[in-house]
């Protein structure tokens, strides 16, 4: 059984989640129109690894920029421009730093965003994830999948601030 | 429903007793409703300006950059002035979004979306000038390190002009991504409200199927924070690198180590002035008086005062160092006694009046909190910052090391036309944006209300 409980207040939402947990019902998903900060702790969500990926992508950009500047300026076609040393990458490094820096940021930002979209399974034209359009406006929704006594759960939800409850059978 | 609560120790960021629903409606209505007369008049004027500019661009490309007012001595003038001016304007957007996000400044929430859009549109205008200035814009891709038919022909990574290419394009693309990622939840809000099937389809595509699940929000917040962290050094690097175009050269008045911080401060100064200008329009046209309040205007004016102070300090340093150096050529730099009374005295004094004298009125609280005066001063600063770039470039080039080549500069109608064309294009993009995209980050703004009624 798939139960959707709608709330119009995030304080009641959090309170309700705690109560649902305490009665050993499993919350499948929570939808909200804005980020709720203590929701992560209440739902015991795992920390995201986006920052780690971002760092790795930045390193990748840095390495590619180093390789590119070395290959083009030192190895493939060393030119003496303005008397700058053209046969040593390390001596040329100060003038490559701006490009290396920009490459690192570029890689870090773009690949992290792509990773984020993949992790969240977001892509152009995807069917909206939220079961009720009001959750992008002013409503909060808890989705519970249960095989246990639904009536008891519905009672519990009603008592704790749910303004609407919808039941869908699988 | 909940009444809006405002802490007694902090000035309110949203006026009126707004609820979550009100915020959604206030942001959605300008997109749902038909455009007003004011919008159409502004759009028509912008189109005219743009078409004039477009004609001038085609004339330049068809004939050559000889149609500009450039000469042998002043081979950069109006065009690079416009480039630096537009890049500078593009700075405040990401600064408001990224730096103020890192500093947890909630007042950014009403203005960051407009500011980010402004960044992107301004950088588009900036990018046009170097490309047109190449003379052969169809070869513009040669600045990228891509294999080509000439074999070992690579761009010169030692050149500050190439650093510009990488800095501006990275800044543009990262700012666009930052802007777009923040828009996804707001697009979803529009998708779920709009009734027209075609528009629904478009917003469905743009919203990427966003549903606002707890995990999505958790990742979204992490993403915003890291992107802000990445954008912050980017903001500083871009104008630093633009300043390297000048400071790594051997032209007197340009080879100055103060240029990077001075340019960054100047860019933020002019960027915030442009945000004030645009928000002054958006506030009235879109009826956002409850969200863009006197406090927002005042906070931005405070940053304008701060960055204006840094810029003033840089002006003083330039003046004193030119005098103290005892170098005969430094006497003719853009900040010198000779500049003040020479053939470009009008540009010099425009800079002094617009950038130094007029902004000092912002020290007066009633002026700082006045919509009208803030708007007027912001426009004056925009003009003054244009003159600053003009002075740096044209004044320094006009008196080079060889007195026989000293010369003046008179812009041609093509120079003026292209500049006005970019202003037209900028406003076209901005006007289209405020009609189709959510101008305020409604999902983030709702978090302020949430905090408020939690305290109830």
Query: What are the pLDDT tens digits along chain B (456 aa)?
Result: 444 555 566 777 787 778 888 888 888 888 888 888 888 998 999 999 999 999 999 999 999 989 999 988 898 888 999 999 999 988 878 888 888 888 888 888 888 888 888 899 999 999 999 999 988 899 888 888 888 777 778 888 888 999 999 999 999 999 999 999 999 999 999 998 888 899 999 999 999 999 889 999 999 999 999 999 999 899 899 989 999 999 998 888 888 889 999 999 999 899 899 988 888 888 888 888 888 888 889 999 999 999 999 999 999 999 998 888 888 888 888 888 888 988 999 999 999 999 999 999 999 999 999 989 999 999 999 999 999 999 999 998 998 888 888 888 999 999 999 999 999 999 999 999 988 898 888 888 888 775 444 444
Comparing CB atoms, the residue among B1, B178, B215 nearest residue A45 is B215
pTM: 0.91
Alpha-carbon separation of residue B179 from A80, A169, B293, B338, B443 (angstroms): 41, 40, 23, 45, 14
Question: Given CA atoms B248, B388, B127, B203 in this order, what sign does their dihedral have?
Answer: positive
Chain A residues whose CB is inside 8 A of the B444 CB are: 34
Stretch A76-88: mean pLDDT? 79
Interface with chain A: mutation pick from B21, B179, B226, B237, highest number of A CBs within 10 Å: B226
B91 membership: H or E segment, kind and range: helix B91-94
Inspect the interface and report whether the beta carbons of B145 and A120 lie closer than 8 Å. no
- Closest listed residue to residue A123, CA positions, set B204, B441, B222: B204
CA angle, residues B83, B88, B93, in degrees to nearest 5: 130
pLDDT at B8: 63
* Separation CA B170–CA B127 (nearest Å): 12
Asked whether residue A81 carries a pLDDT value surpassing 80, the answer given is no
Task: State how far residue B351 is from chain A, nearest Cα, in angstroms.
Answer: 30
Q: Which of residues 21-80 of A touch B (CB under 8 A)?
A: 29-36, 39-40, 43, 45, 48, 50-51, 54, 68-69, 72-73, 76-77, 79
Average pLDDT, rounded, for chain A: 87
Confirm or reject contact between A151 and chain B (CB < 8 A).
Answer: no
Please check whether residue B215 is in contact with residue B223, taking contact to mean a CB–CB distance below 8 angstroms: no
| Token pair recorded at residue B48 | 């005219």
Please check whether residue A170 is in contact with residue A31, taking contact to mean a CB–CB distance below 8 angstroms: no
pLDDT single digits (tens) A130-163: 888 888 888 899 888 887 777 788 888 888 888 8
3-state SS, residue B370: coil
**Could you give phi then psi for residue A5, rounded to 5 degrees?**
-115, 125
Inspect the interface and report whether the beta carbons of A138 and B213 lie closer than 8 Å. no
* Separation CA B195–CA B73 (nearest Å): 60
Comparing CB atoms, the residue among B1, B218, B237 nearest residue A48 is B218
ipTM: 0.92
pLDDT at B2: 47
Inspect the interface and report whether the beta carbons of B189 and A136 lie closer than 8 Å. yes
pLDDT at A27: 86
Inspect the interface and report whether the beta carbons of A50 and B219 lie closer than 8 Å. yes
* Separation CA B175–CA B263 (nearest Å): 19
Taking CA–CA distances from A129, the nearest residue in chain B reads B211
């Amino acid at each position: 059984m798939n139960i959707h409980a709608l709330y119009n207040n995030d304080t009641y939402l959090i309170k309700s989640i705690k109560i649902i947990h305490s009665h050993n019902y499993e919350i499948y998903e929570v939808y909200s129109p804005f980020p709720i900060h203590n929701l992560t702790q209440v739902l015991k969500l795992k920390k995201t690894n986006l920052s780690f990926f971002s760092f790795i992508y930045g390193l990748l950009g840095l390495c590619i920029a180093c390789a590119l500047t070395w290959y083009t300026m030192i190895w493939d076609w060393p030119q003496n421009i303005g008397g700058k040393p053209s046969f040593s990458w390390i001596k040329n490094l100060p003038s490559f730093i701006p490009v290396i820096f920009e490459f690192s940021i570029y890689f870090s930002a773009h690949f992290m965003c792509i990773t984020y979209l993949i992790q969240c399974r977001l892509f152009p034209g995807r069917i909206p994830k939220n079961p009720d359009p009001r959750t992008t406006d002013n409503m909060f929704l808890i989705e519970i999948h249960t095989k246990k006594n639904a009536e008891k759960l519905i009672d519990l939800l009603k008592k704790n601030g749910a303004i609407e409850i919808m039941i869908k059978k699988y | 429903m909940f009444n809006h609560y405002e802490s007694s120790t902090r000035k309110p960021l949203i006026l009126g007793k707004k609820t979550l629903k009100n915020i959604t409606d206030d942001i959605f209505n300008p997109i749902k409703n038909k455009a007003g007369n004011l919008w159409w008049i502004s759009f028509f004027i912008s189109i005219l300006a743009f078409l004039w500019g477009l004609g001038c661009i085609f004339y330049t490309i068809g004939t050559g950059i000889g149609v500009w007012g450039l000469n042998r001595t002043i081979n950069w003038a109006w065009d690079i002035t416009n480039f630096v001016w537009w890049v500078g304007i593009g700075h405040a957007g990401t600064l408001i979004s990224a730096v103020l996000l890192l500093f947890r400044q909630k007042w950014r929430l009403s203005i960051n979306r407009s500011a980010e859009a402004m960044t992107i549109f301004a950088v588009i205008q900036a990018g046009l000038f170097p490309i047109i200035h190449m003379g052969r814009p169809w070869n513009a891709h040669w600045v990228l390190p891509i294999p080509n038919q000439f074999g070992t022909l690579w761009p010169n990574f030692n050149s500050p002009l190439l650093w510009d290419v990488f800095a501006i394009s990275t800044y543009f693309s990262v700012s666009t991504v930052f802007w777009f990622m923040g828009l996804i939840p707001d697009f979803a809000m529009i998708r779920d409200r709009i009734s027209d099937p075609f528009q629904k389809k478009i917003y469905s595509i743009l919203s990427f199927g966003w549903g606002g699940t707890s995990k999505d929000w958790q990742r979204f917040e992490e993403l915003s924070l890291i992107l802000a962290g990445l954008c912050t050094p980017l903001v500083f690097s871009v104008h630093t690198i633009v300043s390297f175009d000048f400071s790594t050269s051997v032209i007197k008045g340009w080879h100055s180590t103060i240029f990077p911080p001075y340019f960054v401060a100047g860019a933020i100064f002019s960027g915030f002035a442009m945000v004030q200008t645009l928000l002054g329009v958006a506030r009235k046209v879109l009826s956002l008086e409850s969200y863009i309040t006197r406090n927002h205007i005042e906070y931005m004016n405070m940053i304008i005062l701060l960055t204006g102070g840094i810029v003033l300090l840089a002006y003083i340093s330039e003046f004193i160092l030119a005098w103290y150096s005892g170098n005969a050529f430094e006497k003719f730099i853009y900040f010198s006694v000779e500049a003040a009374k020479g053939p470009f005295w009008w540009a010099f004094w425009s800079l002094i009046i617009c950038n130094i004298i007029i902004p000092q009125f912002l020290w007066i609280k009633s002026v700082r909190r006045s919509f009208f005066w803030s708007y007027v001063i912001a426009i004056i600063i925009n003009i003054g910052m244009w003159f600053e770039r003009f002075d740096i470039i044209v004044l320094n080039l006009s008196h080079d090391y060889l007195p026989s080549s000293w010369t003046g500069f008179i812009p041609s109608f093509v120079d003026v036309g292209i500049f006005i064309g970019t202003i037209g294009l900028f406003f076209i993009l901005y006007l289209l944006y405020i009609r189709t995209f959510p101008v305020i980050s409604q999902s983030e703004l709702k978090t302020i209300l949430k905090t408020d009624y939690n305290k109830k």
